[in-house]
């Protein structure tokens, strides 16, 4: 009953808020909060979600323009870095964050797709961090394993060899 009420409230509020319109139309916990990733990456994902990267006080971009929510997407060529067409969405980073799986995927195609996209997502978010906080110093990780890669590849490590699967299992 509470879940139904929250979903109705979400649907009622969506038309009024641009950020809500971009989010998934469900009231489940966002996978950003559940997926293994470095805390600073999670923080950046959340800040992008909430539209906080443009900041309260307008700051200049490297190009000289003032940073708005939309400006970096065009200026830093988000669409091309993330291989998302302009026809698909006006915010490719939001688009990909909306598609983060809530469970580690089993399909190799999906796993490979995220392995290609994740470093680009992290790079663009780091660029936003530098724009927002010019004095930011990115810490050097002592552990070279990105928790996200371990998480996204979880099932791949335990998948039985194809020859040991019955023929119908390849279709699943
Ligand atoms: Zn710019």
CA distances from 112 to 22, 81, 128, 140 (A): 25, 16, 25, 25
Ion ligand 1, residues whose Cβ is below 5 A away: 61, 63, 65, 75
Q: How far is the CA of 7 from the centre of ligand 1 (A)?
A: 37
Q: pTM to 2 decimals?
A: 0.78
Domain ranges of the chain: 36-157
Centre of ligand 1 from the C-alpha of residue 73, in Å: 9
Residue 159, pLDDT score: 53
Ligand 1 mean position, distance from CA 85 (Å): 20
DSSP per-residue string spanning 15-71: GG-HHHHHS-SS-SPPGGGTS---HHHHHHHHHHHHT-TT-SS--B-TTSSBP-SSH
Which of the two residues, 42 and 54, has the higher pLDDT score?
A: 42
Q: How far is CA 42 from CA 72, 87, 101, 137, in A?
A: 19, 27, 15, 17
Percent of the chain's residues with pLDDT above 70: 85
7 with 27: CB under 8 angstroms? Answer: yes
Q: Mean pLDDT score of the chain, rounded to an integer?
A: 84
Per-residue pLDDT band at 2 (split at 50, 70, 90): confident
Q: Does residue 81 have a pLDDT over 80?
A: yes
Query: What's the pLDDT band for 168 if we cut at 50, 70, 90?
Result: very low
Arithmetic mean of pLDDT, 143-167: 71
């Amino acid at each position: 009953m509470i879940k139904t009420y929250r979903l109705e409230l979400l649907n009622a509020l969506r038309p009024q808020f641009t950020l809500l319109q971009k989010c998934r139309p469900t009231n489940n916990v966002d996978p950003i909060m559940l997926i293994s990733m470095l805390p600073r990456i999670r923080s950046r994902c959340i800040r992008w979600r909430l539209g906080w990267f443009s900041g309260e006080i307008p700051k200049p971009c490297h190009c000289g323009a003032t940073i708005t929510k939309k400006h970096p997407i065009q200026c830093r060529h988000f669409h091309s870095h993330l291989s998302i067409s302009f026809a698909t969405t006006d915010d490719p980073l939001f688009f990909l964050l909306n598609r983060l799986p809530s469970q580690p995927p089993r399909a190799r195609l999906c796993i490979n797709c995220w392995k290609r996209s994740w470093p680009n997502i992290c790079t663009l978010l780091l660029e936003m961090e530098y724009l927002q906080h010019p004095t930011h110093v990115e810490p050097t990780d002592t552990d070279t394993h990105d928790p996200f890669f371990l998480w996204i590849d979880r099932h791949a490590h335990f998948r039985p060899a194809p020859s040991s699967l019955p023929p119908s299992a390849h279709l699943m």
